[in-house]
Amino acid sequence: MNNNNTTMGENERIRLVVLGGAGVGKSCIVRRFLNNTYSDKYRSTVEDLYSREYDLGHMTLKVDILDTAGDMQFPAMRRLSIATAHAFLLVYATTSSPSFAAIKQCFEEIREQRPDFKEIPIVVAGNKQDLASTHREVQIEDVSEWIFCDLPKLRAKVLECSAKSDFNVRDIFRTFLTLSKIMPKPGDDTTGGLKRRSSAYVSATSKGKNRAPSPAEGRPNHLAASSTSEGLGGEAKAKPRSRSLIRRSSRKTKQQMRDAQSNSEDCNVQ
């Protein structure tokens, strides 16, 4: 994987690998995001790969989501998934202290195998937030202290979610785009979420545009990229920007610079 930041082309494929202990709800999060479905029935995962395509207006993003096993029975598959990932989702359960220890072990495996681990977008998600009020065993402050104080500076974000109640699930995947600089920060996202690419939408938006050819097959660069798109799934605007919009964009840029400066502190608990 190339460690240099590059601008993503019009068509790009990325791989998100989901890691965590057994029974924390990794598959439930993925299915809630992709299909908006949820089931209480537990089925042990060996390895499931989901592929989707999204139109972000300025580019087509092809996403492979690899849902891995929660136990350690398949070490070779686990090493391969870590080696080929462009981003990681580390899932623990807010109701299980051992599950927090499990993602710490997952991170150590990433650090051992990936010299570029500091540049890889990582989201740490505490699932089962709907049960946290009565069964909480892991405080989000402890997770944040581990990520932002105990470890080297990472391109990471911590949040809690619930696959069952559909709380913060889409925010997990939006966060990957902001961490990778494909999209602006969440406060600048004005379109409300990811939008699946349909053939009708593609034919309408590609009219009169000279689209670049698909990139050569093979593993692409990591997620780091820059973009000026204003939202996920939003169609590119052809109209000139108004002065008021330019002023607002200028204020957003200054705010992002201030945020970047504040994030450079040694211990940034989010």
Choose between 107 and 259: higher pLDDT: 107
DSSP 196: B
Residue 235, judged by CB atoms within 10 A of its CB (0-12, 13-18, 19+), counts as middle
Q: What is the mean pLDDT of the chain?
A: 74
For the chain, domain boundaries: 1-270
Q: Is the pLDDT of residue 129 over 70?
A: yes
Identify the top-confidence range among 193-197, 243-247, 253-257. Answer: 253-257
Q: Which CATH architecture has domain 1-270?
A: 3-Layer(aba) Sandwich (3.40)
- Give the span between the Cα atoms of 162 and 154, in whole angstroms: 24
Choose between 85 and 254: higher pLDDT: 85
Look at residues 217, 159, 173 and name the one whose alpha carbon lies nearest to residue 32. 173
* Phi-psi domain of 36 (left: phi exceeds 0; alpha: psi -120 through 50; beta: other): left
Scan for tokens 């899932």, then name that residue. Answer: 91
Give the pLDDT score at 72. 67
Give the pLDDT score at 42. 76
Confirm whether pTM is higher than 0.85. no
Give the pLDDT score at 151. 95
- Give the span between the Cα atoms of 222 and 199, in whole angstroms: 27
Task: Tell me the per-residue pLDDT of 68-127, one tens digit each, with 9 for 90 and over.
Answer: 887 766 788 889 999 999 999 999 999 999 999 999 999 999 999 999 999 999 999 999
Give the pLDDT score at 201. 29
Residue 149 pLDDT level (bands cut at 50, 70, 90): very high
Mean pLDDT in residue range 260-269? 48
